[in-house]
A = this chain, B = another copy of it.
Amino acid sequence: MENKTIKNEAITRREDDFAQWYTDVCLKAELMDYSSVKGFIVYRPYGYAIWEQIQSYLDRRFKETGHENCYMPLVIPESLFNKEKEHVQGFAPETLICTIGGKNKIEDPLIIRPTSETLFCEHFSKIVSSYRDLPKKYNQWCSVVRWEKTTRPFLRGSEFLWQEGHTIHETEVEARNETLAMLEIYDELGKELLATPFIKGKKTDKEKFAGAEETYTIEALMPDGKALQSGTTHYFGQGFSKAFNVTFQSKEGKLEYPHQTSWGVSTRLLGSIIMVHGDDNGLVLPPHLAPIQIVVVPIAQQKPGVIPAARKIYDLLRKEGIRVKIDETDRTPGYKFADWEMKGVPIRLEIGPRDIEKEQVVLSKRNTGEKIIVKNDELIGESKKLLDLIHKEMYEKAHRFLLEHITEVRNMDELKTTVDNGGYAKTMWCGDEVCETKIKELTTATARCMPFNQEPFDNKCVVCGKKATKVVLFAKAY
């Protein structure tokens, strides 16, 4: 049974204006609201609940892999912030600075944390003295502030929510393993929760994190063909530990500098979810991520027996651990359908007098619009199967789109055409930053990453024609 729902006129069509469609969904699905300060948004309960699902998944994964949560101060004295040179150059232009406390001028102005490497290092320098104290594998959930000129909900904000992991280790090998292990967890978050395929790779030196030796990334592709950096992990080597004088006595009794990492994902992921899966009727949420997995909509609910039957179904699903909601408001079914579609609930369950008679319900899939009639006694099993199926369909659709939008390019014309049309230009590169910069100047595309799969398909740099050493994916990006 197929029954595509009618276009919801409350939001712009994607093909008419993708950016406006995005903003419409953010507001109409009640994910966020603006505040009176630009770039500082209100995370409304429905948007925040999606973030809580991500938190819950990652927090479990972090703890299972031996990480501990902690909380560092909100503010960093300017003098502390300035200790690591590359780091301060990267972040100083976008800092928010406090200069008045309790009506008095603050001598060493306080920067609202844009990221907390400096705070963790200061703390590590006090609590680490022996190899017995290592590793320290810490994480914190918090908000950070980066004063941005151009802001968009979730994608680029002056304040955003994130987690930042910070670890220090005895050896380089251990720290490097940590950097890659956390990238793997982010990738699995995409596969298992977000139904989003990422490309994993390493950032070029030009694109890496300020102060890092190496930055790894997961990159998603949006339907408009632009890439979205969705999470990064950094290997710092001993740069920060030297700048902050974090040392430890090794097993051999020598004073050494530990090796450090950091890694983070943010509420930017919400922007990715909206764009990757959404359609002209609003949000489409992957089932394992959705705060509400099934919404029960009683049909002709004023008729006797309908509400009790709907509630019975609701209780049944809830007891099975399915995140379910029942909509008993006095709105019309049509209005309810449109509203829950806008909010991207994966399955709508309709139950009316005729269904009750036949001991059945109607399940409607948000991602395809298909309807399925299910007998009451098969409901639990069928619902769980359907949630898994929807997840699979959504992942595969996004994966197909990604694969269709990676194009091997052999000259600058092909590169420009590819990134202009949208998608990744898979490019051979000599490794010289001059060539990388030239590509950006000519196309506005940036090096998203050097993917882990480095199989060369040509031997010449696409810019200078010299010997190519790396496969790089270029794309325009958010």
Contact = CB atoms under 8 A, between A and B. Distances in A.
A127 B32 CA distance: 11
Chain A contact residues: helix, strand, loop or mixed:
mixed
Contact of A74 (B45, B80, B143): B143
Contact of A96 (B68, B98, B123): B98
Contacts of A45: 68-70, 138
A158 B102 CA distance: 10
Interface of A: 33, 35-37, 40-45, 48-49, 52, 68-75, 77, 80, 93-103, 109-110, 112, 119, 122-123, 126-127, 132, 138, 142-143, 145, 147-149, 158-159, 161, 329
Nearest to A45: B68
B42 A72 contact: yes
A241 to B, nearest CB: 18
Q: Of residues A49, A80, A97, which shows the largest number of chain B Cβ atoms within 10 Å of its Cβ?
A: A97
A84 to B, nearest CB: 15
Contacts of A43: 70-72
Given A73-B159, A102-B147, A143-B74, A49 B35 contact: no
A126 B44 CA distance: 12
A37 B72 contact: no
20 contacts: A33-B123, A33-B126, A35-B72, A36-B77, A37-B73, A40-B73, A41-B73, A42-B70, A42-B71, A43-B72, A45-B68, A71-B161, A74-B143, A74-B159, A93-B103, A98-B98, A98-B112, A101-B158, A102-B148, A102-B149
Contacts of A52: 69
Contacts of A145: 74
A144 to B, nearest CB: 9
Nearest to A291: B68
A147 B109 CA distance: 14
A315 B77 CA distance: 45
Contacts of A158: 101
Give the one of A33, A45, A93, A138 with max B CB within 10 A. A45
A142 to B, nearest CB: 8
A215 B42 CA distance: 27
A326 to B, nearest CB: 14
A196 B37 CA distance: 41
A73 B36 CA distance: 10
A91 to B, nearest CB: 11
Contact of A48 (B41, B70, B329): B70
Given A97-B98, A102-B94, A147-B102, A40 B75 contact: yes
Given A99-B100, A102-B148, 14 more contacts: A35-B122, A35-B123, A37-B73, A42-B70, A45-B69, A48-B70, A49-B68, A73-B159, A74-B112, A93-B103, A95-B101, A96-B101, A96-B110, A132-B329
Contacts of A35: 72-73, 119, 122-123
Contact of A97 (B80, B100, B132): B100
A323 to B, nearest CB: 12
Nearest to A132: B329
B102 A95 contact: yes
A290 B289 CA distance: 30
A94 B159 CA distance: 23
Task: Rank and list the top 4 A-B pairs by shortest CB-CB distance, nearest first.
Answer: A40-B73, A45-B68, A102-B147, A43-B71
Given A97-B98, A98-B97, A36 B161 contact: no
A36 B126 CA distance: 11
A103 B96 CA distance: 8
Contacts of A149: 102
A94 B100 CA distance: 10
B75 A42 contact: no
A70 B33 CA distance: 11
Contacts of A73: 35, 37, 40-42, 159
Nearest to A149: B102
B77 A123 contact: no
A210 to B, nearest CB: 16
Contacts of A98: 96-99, 112
Nearest to A148: B102
Nearest to A97: B100
A95 B44 CA distance: 26
A94 B103 CA distance: 7
Nearest to A145: B74
Contacts of A44: 70, 127
Contacts of A100: 95-97, 99, 109
